[in-house]
Amino acid sequence: MEERKLSLPGALVGALVGLGVEIAIRELTGFDVIDGILEIIGAGFGLIRIDRRIYESTVRLVKGMDIQPNDDYQQILRKIDELTVDLPELRESFLKLMDAGLRARKV
């Protein structure tokens, strides 16, 4: 295997070029690249984290229902319908979750 060589001067030149480009963009457009990118990444991660948490909670709610071992899909749907008459968004989430589960099982 070919040995990979790391060059310290190369890294320094790369860092300086990056800094130069960032300063040039900031001077020309007034947009702070690094801060902007960090903010976007941070917000993205925050959104993903809370959505994943809500999803986990939805799964836990379905698992926490009093479902008998011999209950079929229709019975579970009826039960969800009864409990979510006035909760349309949650009902939709449950249905999507169950559809995904069924599709995964078929595959």
Partner 1 sequence: MIGLGILVRIVRHLLGKPLEDSGALPTRYYLHEILKSLDQDNIGQTVKLLKVSKGALVDRSRWELVRQQVLFRCRVLMERHGKRIRSIERRIMELKRHGRLPWRWFQNKPVEKLGHYENALALEKRAQALLEKYESELKNI
Give 12 or 50: the residue with its C-beta nearer to partner 1: 50
Give 72 or 86: the residue with its C-beta nearer to partner 1: 86
Residue 6 C-beta: closest distance to partner 1, Å: 23
Binding site for partner 1 (CB under 8 A): 38, 41-42, 46, 50-51, 53-54, 57-58, 60-61, 64-66, 83-84, 86-87, 89-90, 93
Question: What gap in Å lies between CA 63 and CA 74, rounded to an integer?
Answer: 16
Residue 67 C-beta: closest distance to partner 1, Å: 10
Question: What gap in Å lies between CA 77 and CA 32, rounded to an integer?
Answer: 51
Structure tokens given for 80: 């969800």
Question: What gap in Å lies between CA 64 and CA 60, rounded to an integer?
Answer: 6
Residue 99 C-beta: closest distance to partner 1, Å: 18
Sign of CA pseudo-dihedral 41, 45, 46, 51: positive
Question: What gap in Å lies between CA 101 and CA 99, rounded to an integer?
Answer: 5
Give 10 or 36: the residue with its C-beta nearer to partner 1: 36
Give 24 or 81: the residue with its C-beta nearer to partner 1: 81
Helices (H), 1-107: 8-29, 33-63, 73-83, 88-106
Residue 35 C-beta: closest distance to partner 1, Å: 12
